[in-house]
Amino acid sequence: YDAYLKAMLATGFRLPKENILLSIGSYKEKVEMMPSVRRLFESGFKLFATPGTADFIQEHGIDVTALEADKAREGYSLEEYLSSNKIDLYINLPSKNSFRRPATYVSNGYRSRRMAIDFSVPLITNVKCAKMFIEAMARFSMDKWEIESVDYITSHRTTVLPGLVNITALLPGGDGFEQATRAAICGGFTMLGISAHGADAFATTGDQSVSKVKSAGRGHAHTDYVVEIAATEANPAAAAALSADAPILYVSFDRSHPVHVDKYSAVSEHFKAWPQNSTVITNASGNDLATMLLLASLFSRQIHVTDVRTPEDLDLIDLSRARGLCATCDVSVYALFADRLPAIEGLQSNVQPLWSRLSAIDCFTVGTLPAQAAKAAGVKDVNPATLGYQLVLPLLYTAVSEGRLTSTDVVERFCNAPRRIFGLPEQPDTYVEIHRDRLVRIPPKSDDAKWFPDILAKPAHCAVHRVVMRGKTLLLDGMFYDQGLAPVGRDLCHVLRTMSSGPSGKQFAQPPAMAAGALSVKTAAEARPPVHARKSSLVMSPAVVPAIEVDTIDEVDAVSAVLDVQPLAVDETALATRIERPLPESRLADVMARHGNQNPFYMKHVLSVRQFTREDLHLLFAVAQEMRTVVQRSGMLPLLTGRVMAAVFYEPSSRTSSSFQTAMLRLGGQVFTANSESSSVAKGETLEDTVRTFGSYADIITLRHPQPGSVQGAARFANIPVLNAGDGIGEHPSQAMLDTFTIREELGTVNGLTITLVGDLKNGRTVHSLARVLSQYKNVTLNYVSPASLAMPESIKRDVALRAPYVEQHEFTELTDAVLAKTDVLYVTRVQKERFDNEEEYERTRSAFVIDNEVMRKCKRNMIVMHPLPRVTEIAPEVDTDQRAAYFRQMQYGMFVRMALLALVLCRNF
């Protein structure tokens, strides 16, 4: 439904706000539209209708205003309402008049449709489209929509990353919290460790300063964040007392900042007072670093060294690890590209040594280098806390394109390692989509170009396309997606886990081994050949940076076809990590509400289709449609977690058995199986005792048995629901349900169809159940085509005639051209060898009817061929490529229906 509504909007169709006009021609369509009209009324729309339609709607208790086409009373003119644009949507369903009219005749309906077009009033003229559109409007509202990868097409090389983490983000000054976190989102960062130091003299050292920072972040942060507290010589006890609100201790030796530590004895006091499992960060270097590592070893502390800038410091940290110290470190991305920055003492000469020691680096950060470079370059009127975020991924993926890094390195050091080391919580439904091949050029007047002028001369690759946080799209192509959305960032101080050292940085240099079932995401370039480029523009948020020009591509391919997910695959050129995509919540509660929250299947045996009405089946089919959507998007829906199904099959089965088992597993349940060879039946145990036994272990039983009526008899002894999976030549209710669902999905309706059942109708339990289900629909014609010895049993025909005297039943011994020409559904069954006592009789009838291409040429273009499978010779393999061959799609529909059936039987509500 959301796809249909988005497709309509993409054509320029406008959603109605208040007034909807209805004009429905035929009585049949009036009846069909009534539930949808009621949905419109309940949704708060004001309804107008032409006189005949208005009378019909009012008879059903719905308030509607009648508008007249000719000689209308003042204020009730259809022409006036359309011409003055008082109508937001016009649903006009013309009657199908079979009488020839004069060429000069113009109906009122035509005139009103013409007016709607002339005055740009949205118009729908098809009953199916109208029902679909109304249902879609009722389900979705614009403010709850999400842009998904299936909603757009791109030819760029797209990679999906987890939300990035910046461990020591510069403390925003004044009211700059929102601006700084907006800049972080634009760079793909969804979590920040807010450093205890700002670019000015401010630092978080006590209760008041910590409260001030938290107040600034509350309701203004676009990213999740953790506040750090600065160590001073005077606050060991005060800092420890605030560890719950500021769980990271920042020990600074930066003498250029007024808040720093000079005496090592002060560090010792902090190590004594600070909680053992809470995080300690330091920016120490040289002799200060050696002393910090020694103190950490003496106090058995894990320590993280931030903003490492020299190879000597990295070697010292690596040596400490070799001696058993839990020490980790990070390096600013800009230290690796310092040869492109304005001159800062000692940085340029360390670039290559740092790259050569990449395996010793645990994490990447943005760090304080952008602010220092801006200060050194004399840049004014910028917020130092916003600098550097939007250049990080372009710089890193330029290095990836040059072969110096891999995508795995980027994700490990900017996401996985920070979370593991600092105990940061996972961010569900949070990810970043980047276009790795987009060439980003920073405008000369932007803040980042002022302190990093070299980026103008050497444009970098990689643009952040989209940032999603907790299932909400925050950023799309550089613009904040919903300008009215309040900042969604959270203070994470109370949800940090225990600090963990994790593996050493050397292990991070290699792609991490993936656990069974882990997923890898292949990028567009690995699935598509390169294509030609042209110019476009990428507009960044005006609050952060002006528009950025990019190179884009002429030919476009769907991202959904590009993101190829495969198990146990790690590709150096693609991102290999677990990505949790936002999964739309199921709408099963809405389905139940539309059916009055009544569940006729709950804890009932499902033994025969005669148990259920047409309305019951429609509930089942509505739930099956939702199951289909959920499976296609997320693979499973854990409704039945903790439940167990016993699959008991005393006859061979491939599709029914595996379909039921897969359905249970996709619903989060468990399955155990039994058959006549592996159970105590081989020892003479009765079916009734077997059912009693399995009823003690399981929550539901699916049972197939060769004797007609055996499942019904066994159900009397079961204290849990029993589902009939086939009882000899008796019934197969779930097959009939999935067959009917298949017809509805493939052809749109069952009413008015001609359905031809071909083959062994005497022994085929599937056709017995199907005929009974089809008898519940209107104007259905059933053709029975079979050898005389395998004709449909009289009991079935009599049952159909009693239940639905309006259903036409015809018997044939030949599949004639006349029958084929009128058939909408050709339902073919195999002649079942296991049901014959005489093999000669079987051989004489097994190939009585064979469906091949010659037969298909005589059929309608919009019909379908179905088969419960397995097939033998009754359908030639050449038919498989015909689009009308629905029997393999029918199998998949079966899983959705059986998921729905299991869920409805075991769940009262959703």
pLDDT digits (tens, 9 = 90+) for 278-322: 889 999 999 999 999 999 999 988 899 999 999 999 999 999 988
The long-range contacts involving 288-294, CB below 8 angstroms and separated by at least 24 positions, are 288/253, 289/313, 289/316, 289/317, 290/316, 291/264, 291/267, 292/251, 292/267, 293/317, 293/320, 293/325, 293/327
CB 303 within 8 A of CB 292: yes
- The alpha carbon of residue 606 and the mean position of all alpha carbons in its chain are separated, in whole angstroms, by 32
From 406, 656, 690, 754, the catalytic residue = 656
Higher pLDDT, 790 or 643: 643
pLDDT for 809: 92
- The b-or-e profile of 783-800 (16+ CB within 10 A means b, else e) is bbbbbeebbbeeebbebb
- pLDDT tens per residue across span 389-414: 989 999 999 899 888 999 899 999 99
Rounded Cα distance between 696 and 677, Å, is: 21
pLDDT for 565: 32
- Kindly state the tokens that stand for 766: 């599937």
Identify whether 867 is a catalytic site residue.
Answer: no
From 535, 683, 857, 861, the catalytic residue = 683
Whether residue 636 is predicted with pLDDT greater than 80 in this model: the reply is: yes
Backbone angles phi, psi at 2, to 5 degrees: -65, -35
Rounded Cα distance between 500 and 588, Å, is: 41
Segment 215-220 shows an average pLDDT of: 86
CB 765 within 8 A of CB 730: yes
Segment 200-220 shows an average pLDDT of: 85
Rounded Cα distance between 907 and 900, Å, is: 10
Least confident of 91-100, 496-505, 635-644, 653-662: 496-505
Whether residue 365 is predicted with pLDDT greater than 90 in this model: the reply is: yes
CB 226 within 8 A of CB 193: yes
From 30, 222, 309, 732, the catalytic residue = 732
- The alpha carbon of residue 829 and the mean position of all alpha carbons in its chain are separated, in whole angstroms, by 37
Rounded Cα distance between 41 and 64, Å, is: 9
pLDDT for 844: 67
Query: Would you call 762 helix, strand, or coil by DSSP?
Result: coil
Rounded Cα distance between 773 and 733, Å, is: 9
Rounded Cα distance between 573 and 141, Å, is: 39
pLDDT-derived band at 517, boundaries 50, 70, 90:
very low
Residues forming a β-bridge with 363: 330
- pLDDT tens per residue across span 722-756: 999 888 777 888 999 999 999 988 888 898 899 99
pLDDT for 28: 87
Torsion of CA 618, 620, 626, 628, to 10 degrees: -110
How distant, in Å, are the alpha carbons of 285, 352, 390, 567 from that of 339?
A: 21, 9, 19, 40
pLDDT for 72: 61
Segment 143-164 shows an average pLDDT of: 75
Identify whether 704 is a catalytic site residue.
Answer: yes
- The b-or-e profile of 702-728 (16+ CB within 10 A means b, else e) is bbbbeeeebbbebbeebebbbbbbbbb
CB 630 within 8 A of CB 637: yes
- The b-or-e profile of 409-439 (16+ CB within 10 A means b, else e) is bbbbbbbbbbbbbbbbeebeebbbbbbbbbb
From 375, 441, 618, 655, the catalytic residue = 655
From 450, 466, 490, 704, the catalytic residue = 704
pLDDT-derived band at 515, boundaries 50, 70, 90:
very low
pLDDT for 105: 60
Whether residue 366 is predicted with pLDDT greater than 90 in this model: the reply is: yes
Rounded Cα distance between 764 and 768, Å, is: 7
Can the peptide bond before residue 870 be classed as cis, meaning omega within 30 degrees of 0? yes
Whether residue 820 is predicted with pLDDT greater than 60 in this model: the reply is: yes
Query: Would you call 564 helix, strand, or coil by DSSP?
Result: coil
First CA to last CA distance, the chain: 20
Q: Is the pTM of this model over 0.85?
A: no
How distant, in Å, are the alpha carbons of 141, 160, 476, 554 from that of 465?
A: 24, 10, 6, 17
Q: For the chain, give the mean pLDDT.
A: 81
pLDDT for 191: 92
Rounded Cα distance between 448 and 459, Å, is: 13
Whether residue 665 is predicted with pLDDT greater than 90 in this model: the reply is: yes
Rounded Cα distance between 712 and 733, Å, is: 12
Whether residue 534 is predicted with pLDDT greater than 50 in this model: the reply is: no
* Residues ≥6 apart with Cβ < 8 Å to 349: none
Closest CA to 827 of 744, 749, 760, 751: 760
- Kindly state the tokens that stand for 647: 């699959």
Residues forming a β-bridge with 68: 77
Pairing of strands 224-230, 189-198: parallel
Rounded Cα distance between 856 and 852, Å, is: 6
Identify whether 375 is a catalytic site residue.
Answer: no
What burial class does residue 74 get, using C-beta atoms within 10 Å of its C-beta: 0-12 exposed, 13-18 middle, 19+ buried? exposed
- The alpha carbon of residue 880 and the mean position of all alpha carbons in its chain are separated, in whole angstroms, by 31
